């Protein structure tokens, strides 16, 4: 499978570590994995050290969320991912205006990483665009439900 792991950036922290570990696991299982980021971040070089491909799609300085979402959807259409895992609130914001542009063949999965009101609110606002919403812990799953 072609899998996109979408992240705001590879800043030092739990989500970046999760993405690196999940990428390695999926690659070892025979999948083609690409980390798709909004900005690179300080840990971006760790991807190359682990032979994990990465793509950065930064929004333009004066670019609207709608135009940016269309550019992201164009990338997804060209890359033909089978599944895309979205690991952040910011990606959820873009999903609201553009995830419906991504090909139907790409399953969109929102991963809830934290116990924060903003995370739940954004996920609820965008719930119709997701094929699946998963949580990293039973507590987060219960709160989201």
- The Cα 61–Cα 54 span in angstroms is 22
Instruction: Note whether 133 and 110 are within 8 A (CB).
Output: yes
| Share above pLDDT 90 across residues of the chain, in percent, rounded to a whole number | 35
**Average pLDDT value for residue range 24-47:** 94
Q: In degrees, to the nearest 5, what angle opens at C-alpha 31 toward C-alphas 55 and 140? A: 75
For the ranges 41-50, 98-107, 131-140, which has the lowest average pLDDT?
A: 98-107
Quick one: pLDDT at residue 69? 83
Per residue in 49-105, pLDDT (tens digit) is 999 999 999 988 998 888 888 888 899 889 999 999 988 656 656 655 667 778 888
- The Cα 3–Cα 28 span in angstroms is 13
Instruction: Note whether 93 and 122 are within 8 A (CB).
Output: yes
Residue 21, pLDDT > 90, answer yes
Residue 39, pLDDT > 90, answer no
- The Cα 145–Cα 125 span in angstroms is 14
**Considering the entire predicted model, what is its pTM?**
0.87
- The Cα 16–Cα 44 span in angstroms is 9
**Average pLDDT value for residue range 105-113:** 88
CA distances from 117 to 34, 48, 77 (A): 29, 34, 32
**Average pLDDT value for residue range 124-135:** 84
């Amino acid at each position: 499978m072609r899998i996109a792991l979408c992240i705001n950036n590879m800043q030092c922290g739990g989500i970046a570590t999760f993405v690196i570990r999940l990428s390695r696991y999926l690659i070892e299982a025979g999948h083609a994995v690409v980390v798709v980021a909004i900005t690179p971040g300080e840990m971006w070089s760790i991807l190359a050290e682990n032979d994990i491909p990465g793509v950065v799609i930064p929004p333009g300085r004066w670019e609207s969320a709608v135009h940016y979402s269309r550019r992201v959807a164009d990338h997804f259409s060209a890359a033909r991912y089978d599944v895309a895992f979205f690991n952040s609130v910011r990606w959820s914001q873009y999903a609201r205006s553009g995830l419906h542009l991504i090909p139907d063949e790409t399953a969109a999965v929102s991963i809830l990483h934290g116990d924060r009101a903003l995370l739940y609110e954004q996920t609820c606002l965008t719930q119709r665009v997701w094929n699946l919403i998963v949580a990293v812990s039973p507590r987060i799953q219960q709160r989201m439900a």
